[in-house]
Chains A and B, each alone.
Chain A
């Protein structure tokens, strides 16, 4: 049991990294990774929202949608629930902890339509995880996102200082750099299976 959870956690951080191997959440990955503190803020917010979204959408799927035979309403219900959750979370944080809001709150509205969050919620259902496994997998995906953001922000500050040929300036060189990080993560592909089997 414990072993399964560890495998899920490690493989969602390193092997099936949401950004680098499944291509979810590319927009914030390319957009908010310019500075380290922004990258960390975005990563932590995404992790929190992923956990919260899974904690809410998993019961909704199994206790409401499946029982009423409304499984096909998944996309509509999930996106609305996530959007409402994010708005509520922002209001609550603003009220109770203005300092935290100044640090993380600014990223929250941007997460509403982040495909990684909806992707995690849907994938947990498709993979047939139970509640605990779903929560661990969301945590892993969030941490994986954070890791990718932090690594990439370091790389980007190096790119900013180097001279890039004309047409490659801006997004093109950023994507190519992201490709190299993704290549590094490919090397970790077999690692989880090897350790635990």
Chain B
């Protein structure tokens, strides 16, 4: 029974408590770039979910085989392989979505959520737990992207997933679907999450930034240490 609970908590962890977008603040590039419409955001979320789930499972399976010193290049190859598969599937079955997401689909390869979960979770946990973690994180990512895209599309272009909402037609804030609107909405949502949790959200603390490209210089705990070392 307790084991079941444990697995459930691994799954729900990524959806709420450690939501990759609003709490861990990972994968900011696709979050900002693909959320100007709901369809693109949802597609991006599902594509990332698929890659995250598969790569977590494979990396967990290979965790005793991959030598420690070359683990990051190995993870990148595994992730890039799954990204290529997803890219081809999307191109074949959803050509419109493929056009909409463009280069961001290929850039799932360097999405810090996926590499981060590989390094922090899949390389240390069993296959089932890693799979569930990938699923949870992916669902959390998809939900967050869709929520943000809903705000931007409904108020920015008075439509939801391409269906227009007539009574908002005259009150469009077109700036929201453009680039600056993305950053503004993301900033406001982060502040909202912070306010709702009264600052109790783990805010990256439970997550080491070992694999993030700018780890040494960002705001997280590990990096603050580095900064203090500078002084």
Q: Which residues of chain A have a CB within 8 Å of any CB of chain B?
A: 20-28, 30-32, 34, 38, 42, 72-76, 79-80, 83, 106, 110-115, 118-119, 122-123, 126, 166-168, 170-176, 178-180, 182-183, 185-186
Contact = CB atoms under 8 A, between A and B. Distances in A.
Contacts of B28: 23, 26-27, 30
B107 A179 contact: no
A113 B213 contact: yes
B80 interface: yes
B29 A24 contact: yes
B212 A179 contact: no
B107 A119 contact: yes
B179 A182 contact: yes
B46 interface: no
B214 A32 contact: yes
B191 A27 contact: no
Interface stretch (B60-68, B132-140, B192-200): B192-200
Contacts of B163: none
Contacts of B181: 179
A72 B86 CA distance: 11
Interface of B: 25, 28-30, 32-33, 73, 76-77, 80-81, 83-84, 87-88, 102-103, 106-107, 109-112, 115, 175, 178-184, 186-188, 190-192, 194-195, 199, 211-219, 223
A32 B217 contact: yes
Contact of B110 (A31, A113, A171, A180): A113
Q: Give 9 closest A-B pairs by Cβ, nearest first.
A: A175-B187, A31-B218, A31-B214, A179-B183, A167-B195, A172-B191, A23-B33, A182-B180, A176-B187
B190 A172 contact: yes
Nearest to B102: A126
A176 B212 contact: no
B84 A72 contact: yes
Overall SS of chain A's interface: helix
Contacts of A24: 29, 33, 107
B213 A27 contact: yes
Given A110-B213, A113-B213, A176-B188, A27 B218 contact: yes
B138 to A, nearest CB: 19
B217 A26 contact: no
A186 B213 contact: no
Contact of B217 (A110, A115, A185): A110
A140 B104 CA distance: 20
Nearest to A32: B217
A38 B217 contact: yes
Contact of A80 (B25, B73, B218): B73
B181 to A, nearest CB: 7
Contact of A122 (B103, B179, B194): B103
B187 A171 contact: yes
Contacts of B187: 168, 171-176, 178-179
A118 B184 contact: no
A123 B103 contact: yes
B106 A20 contact: no
Given A75-B87, A119-B107, A25 B29 contact: yes
